[in-house]
Structure formats: structure tokens, C-alpha cells
Structure 1
Amino acid sequence: MGETTNFQDLFKKSMLHLDAFRSISYIDILLGLLSAFGIGVFIFYIYKKTFRGVVYSYNYNVTFVLMTMITALIIMTISTNIVLSLGMVGALSIVRFRTAVKDPLDIVYMFWAISAGIASGAKLYPVAIIGSIAVGLALVWLSRKKIREMPYLLIIRHTEDATGSVRSQLNKINHTLKSKTIRKDVVEMTVEMRLRDDNTAFVHDLSSTDGVLDVSLINYTGDYAQ
């Protein structure tokens, strides 16, 4: 009686017994981790150099280094055995990260770290190194070429007697009146404007005007200056 071959036998013969899934040398492990660590440090440096936010977080930046190395470890682990790879996919599918990312550019750095870790873990070192250098140079170049013209809201509280002086100061700036509120003898105005290179010297001129109680400059993205 002939021996029957089912799907499980074919799967074992075609996948489980491939040489590519049997073992990985210690040299490959060391090279993969060193490559991931070096690229992670490079991402760390680029992120710190091109950061344009309000508060720089050292701990958040360090996660890019660790994320690159951990991703490389995962890829090296699942490349040794197809059963482990399937189990890893199932395990990672139930993981949910709910940390809010305020800057969309941070997502780019996360994908960069993960991609570099995948390439390092798969022993595609030229792809990981050359690709990371290209991405890093692009980020540095784009950060320097960025036109720093941002929308701001200027809130001014002054007495009615200072209306003429405030108006003359605002005429020097391209602005749009958004709201005006009068409470007894106090006038509160909100105007919209766009500034380049954080040129906020006019705020001090307004605050020193007679009759001006306070001046606040608010950036739409949450940056504050006074």
C-alpha cells in the first residue's frame, strides 16, 4: 500500500527542514546587533539635531536605539524557525500601543528604526546602512530648508485710551483681526499673524506701550512665547 502524503507532511518537508530556518551563527548575531546599535545611535543623533519641538525628550530618543536592536533580535529569532515566526506574528498581533504621538515626524523615526532593525536582523547590512544614511541626510537637509513661517495668535489686553497706540503698532505687522471684547474700560483683542524665524521683538514693543496691560503670543501647535 502506497504511502499517502498530506498537507502537514508537505509543510514540514518544504518549510521546517530548510537550512535557512535551522540555525544562525554567533557571528551573525553579533554583526546584526552591532549594525542595529550603530544605526540606532545614528538615528538618535539625527533626531536630536533636527528636533524642532518645544521640549526635547532624551528618553523618547533613546527608544529609537532600543527599538532598532529589539527589532533586529525579533527578525533573527523568527528567521531560525518558521514555527517561531508564526507564533511571533500571533503574539505581536495582540499588542496595542496607545501612546499619543504629537508630531507626525516622530512616526517617521519609528518606522525608520523598525526598518533598519528588520534589515539588520535579515543580514541585509548594505540596505540598512546605505538606506539609513540616505534617510538621515534627507532629514537634515529638509530641516535646514524648512521655511519657518508659522501661524500665531496675538492676544492684547489694553485700556480704551491706548487703542490708537495699539492700532499704530499693529499696522506695522500683517495681521487679521479675529475677535475684540470690551469689558468696562478694558479691551481684549485677538489677531492672527504669521511669523518667520520666531521674530517676536514686536511683542516687547507692544507690552511697553502705555495703557497695554498684557500681551500674549500663542502658536497654533502649542508653542508659547511672551
Structure 2
Amino acid sequence: MLDLLAVQSSTTNATIITLIYTLTLAFILSSMIGWTYEKTFLGLSYSRNFVQGIVLSSVAAAMIMQAIGDNVGRGLGMMGALSVVRFRTSFKDPRDIMFIFASLGAGIGCGVYAWGAAAGGTVAFCCVAFLLSRTGLGTKHFFDGMLRFALPNEGPVREQVEHIMKTSLKTFILITMREVDGGSRLDVAYQVRLRATKPAAEILNELSKLEGISDVQFMMQDATTEM
């Protein structure tokens, strides 16, 4: 059995055993980061390729650091070679960038034989990511979603709609109203907060039963925020 303590800690003339340890650990740590990203993802545009990119970036970073070693000339040459490459991938979510940085950090740590720092940092990063996803830190919205529908521009129908919303919703506020069909109908949108005992499906069903109500839609706040 190979003894980890026997593995050299210098970046000069890396052995095959050291290279195997380095790349294997980089793969394991980046896989943990990718798995954490998958389990804590809350957006709408999930990408399997991005998760695989997290893993591959760490292995590539470890490989580059192994190739450079302690040689300053190699480092300058690597900088010149990488400057030719143009990375045009854009990240809409800052959280995605942090996962890429974490994966690169783990790969670089493994490449310079700072295995303890790489492993400890990866575990800490994954724990914090899970903690933030469970606590909902940063969430700031008073309403649960947006309710939108069209109704006849008539007093009785509007009174019926208002009655349903007052009895079924905890609170609501009108955000848009526009006339359609030459002013005979109104297209309205409300920010609403649901009651714990009244799911959105029941409210949609009650509104749909009213004569003249059409295009009833409800969009959750999380969905509208991520988009």
C-alpha cells in the first residue's frame, strides 16, 4: 500500500505516483463541488455540461500546475500560451462563477501539493453552499407570486373578482392594468401573497369559474426572480 507520507512535497520532477495522487484528488474534490452545485441549484436553466465543466476545470488546473512546477520560465510560457485562448462563455449567475473558482482553487491546491488546504477548503465551501441553500439567505420578497388574468370592464364582475381575492389571499396589490378589445376588457396583474390554507390552484379555479374571466395565470416569485 502506498504511503501518502512518502510522496514528495516538492514540485520539482514530479513522480508518477505524485501525479496520480494529485489528479485523483482533484477529480474527487471537484466532483464534490459539482454534486453540491447540483443539489443546491435553485435556478431555471440547469446545465449538465456546466457541472461537468466544474470537474474538468479542476483536473485541468492541477495538470497545469504540475506542468509548471517551480520553473518560472514555464510559468511565463504558460501565461503566454493561455493568453491566446479567448474564453467567451458568459455567466449570468454570480453563484456559478463562485463554483468555478472553487473548482479551480481545489485543482491549483492539488497541483502545488497543498492537499490539506484543497480538501479542507472544498469541504468548507460545500458545507457553506448547503447552509445558504437551506437557510434562504438573501431572499427578499414579500409576495409569493404574480396573478394575471383578463376580465370584462364591468362593475359586477370586478366586484366578484375583488371579493374572491379578499377572501382567498392574505394580501395583494395591483401592478398593471391595461384596456384591451377597445376598452371592453381589462388585462390586469397583481402581486399576491397566498394564505397557508389556500393553495394557488384553488384560487385559479375560483377565478376561472367567473363569467368572462380568461387567461388566468399564476407565476411563482422564485420563477420570475430567476428569469
**Could you say which TM-score interval applies, normalised by the shorter chain?**
0.7 to 0.9
What does residue 200 of structure 1 align with?
Answer: 200
**Do the aligned residues in 1 keep the contact of 2:177 with 2:186 (CA within 8 Å)?**
yes
What does residue 174 of structure 1 align with?
Answer: 171
What does residue 158 of structure 2 align with?
Answer: 163
Cα deviation for residue 205 of structure 1 reads: 3.6
Cα deviation for residue 48 of structure 1 reads: 1.0
Name the TM-score, length of structure 2 as normaliser.
Answer: 0.79
Once residues 106 and 81 of structure 1 are traced to their aligned partners in structure 2, the CA distance between those partners, rounded to angstroms, is: 32
Q: Find out whether 1:187 has 2:177 as its counterpart.
A: no
Cα deviation for residue 40 of structure 1 reads: 1.2
4+ runs deviating over 6 angstroms: none
Q: Report the CA distance shift for 1:133/1:177 in structure 2 as closer, same or farther (over 3 A).
A: same
Q: After the TM superposition, which residues 131-150 of structure 1 pair with which residues of structure 2 at under 5 Å, given as runs?
A: 131-146=121-136, 150=141
Residues 98-150 of structure 1 show CA distances to partners (whole Å, capped at 9, x for unaligned) of 22212221111011001101101111111111111111011111111116664
**Do the aligned residues in 2 keep the contact of 1:149 with 1:195 (CA within 8 Å)?**
no
Equivalent in 86, 89, 93 of residue 96 of structure 1: 86
- Structure 1: gaps spanning 5 or more residues: 1-19
What does residue 18 of structure 2 align with?
Answer: 28
**Do the aligned residues in 2 keep the contact of 1:159 with 1:213 (CA within 8 Å)?**
no
C-alpha RMSD of matched pairs (Å) = 2.5
Once residues 193 and 37 of structure 1 are traced to their aligned partners in structure 2, the CA distance between those partners, rounded to angstroms, is: 46
- Structure 2: gaps spanning 5 or more residues: 1-9
- The one-letter code of the counterpart of 2:224 is Y
Q: Report the CA distance shift for 1:119/1:222 in structure 2 as closer, same or farther (over 3 A).
A: closer
Q: Report the CA distance shift for 1:59/1:21 in structure 2 as closer, same or farther (over 3 A).
A: closer
Name the TM-score, length of structure 1 as normaliser.
Answer: 0.79
Cα deviation for residue 153 of structure 1 reads: 3.4
What does residue 4 of structure 2 align with?
Answer: none
**Do the aligned residues in 1 keep the contact of 2:170 with 2:195 (CA within 8 Å)?**
no
What does residue 220 of structure 1 align with?
Answer: 224
**Do the aligned residues in 2 keep the contact of 1:155 with 1:189 (CA within 8 Å)?**
yes
**Do the aligned residues in 2 keep the contact of 1:154 with 1:193 (CA within 8 Å)?**
yes
Q: Which is higher, the Rg of structure 1 or of structure 2?
A: 1
Once residues 200 and 73 of structure 2 are traced to their aligned partners in structure 1, the CA distance between those partners, rounded to angstroms, is: 61
**Do the aligned residues in 2 keep the contact of 1:68 with 1:114 (CA within 8 Å)?**
yes
Residues 79-99 of structure 1 show CA distances to partners (whole Å, capped at 9, x for unaligned) of 152211101112223433222
Residue aligned with 1:27, SS: helix
Q: How many pairs does the alignment contain?
A: 203
- The one-letter code of the counterpart of 1:185 is S
**Do the aligned residues in 1 keep the contact of 2:26 with 2:59 (CA within 8 Å)?**
yes
Equivalent in 107, 110, 127 of residue 120 of structure 1: 110
- The one-letter code of the counterpart of 1:169 is I
**Do the aligned residues in 2 keep the contact of 1:21 with 1:81 (CA within 8 Å)?**
no
Once residues 36 and 97 of structure 1 are traced to their aligned partners in structure 2, the CA distance between those partners, rounded to angstroms, is: 22
Once residues 187 and 97 of structure 1 are traced to their aligned partners in structure 2, the CA distance between those partners, rounded to angstroms, is: 48
Once residues 64 and 87 of structure 2 are traced to their aligned partners in structure 1, the CA distance between those partners, rounded to angstroms, is: 18
Once residues 195 and 107 of structure 2 are traced to their aligned partners in structure 1, the CA distance between those partners, rounded to angstroms, is: 38
Cα deviation for residue 160 of structure 1 reads: 2.7
